[in-house]
Amino acid sequence: MTGHRFSLRFALPLGLALAVVAMLLVSFSIGILNDRAAVMEHQTDDAILIAEHMARTAERGLTNQREQVAADLAVASTDRAVVAMVVIDADGKVELAHRLGWTGQHVSKVIPGFDMARFKRVSWGNLPDVEVSESLARITVLTQYNLPVGDAELRSSRHGAIYLEYDIQPDFDLVLWHAQNRLWPQLAIALVLIVALSSVLKRFVI
């Protein structure tokens, strides 16, 4: 009988502790996945909006209001998530960029691994093209804009593109930090309750 009481006093709190910890860890993991997905969706939508805004700005003013386009690009580039923002002409040359030294160079020389096939496909399309890195921490958006109409044209036959790259790893790190801050108090409360249960069993279990 004494062995049964001893077993119950320790086995029940231990089993409860393991179950509670398992549930908290599952909730912790699901919360991180859901929050990361929300960050990804929000930042992707934001990147698309900024790239499309820059495309319309380039269409209106790249020829006659170049300084204004450059100013808009500079302001947009101050977002902490922006790694690169580039206005590319039909030949792949950098018209404007967040780095002045890139201007006039071919985009493939300043952005390692830049996909020219993707650029050509997007420059003749109407929808922005979004790619996400394997780590999910980098988002790139490529969207088309029309270059000025030629003298013998009714509509432009030349198209450039806006390239925008986002780094959202800091947002993922923040998600993890908040999740951990929620987890520690929950674990502490669970520990207190389990210790209290163990004390109750020790006093009253016959």
Select the more confidently predicted residue: 54 or 147: 54
Average pLDDT, the chain: 85
HEC string of the chain equals CHHHHHHHHHHHHHHHHHHHHHHHHHHHHHHHHHHHHHHHHHHHHHHHHHHHHHHHHHHHHCCCCHHHHHHHHHHHCCCCCEEEEEEECCCCEEEEECCHHHCCCEHHHHCCCCCHHHHHHHHCCCCCEEEECCCCCEEEEEEEEECCCCCCCCCCCCEEEEEEEEECHHHHHHHHHHHHHHHHHHHHHHHHHHHHHHHHHHHHCC
5-42: pLDDT as tens digits: 546 566 666 777 788 888 888 888 999 999 999 999 99
The per-residue pLDDT for range 58-69, each reduced to its tens digit, is 988 888 888 999
Predicted TM-score (pTM) of this structure: 0.80
Digit-coded pLDDT (tens) for 82-119: 999 999 999 999 999 999 999 999 999 999 999 999 99
Does the pLDDT at position 51 exceed 50? yes
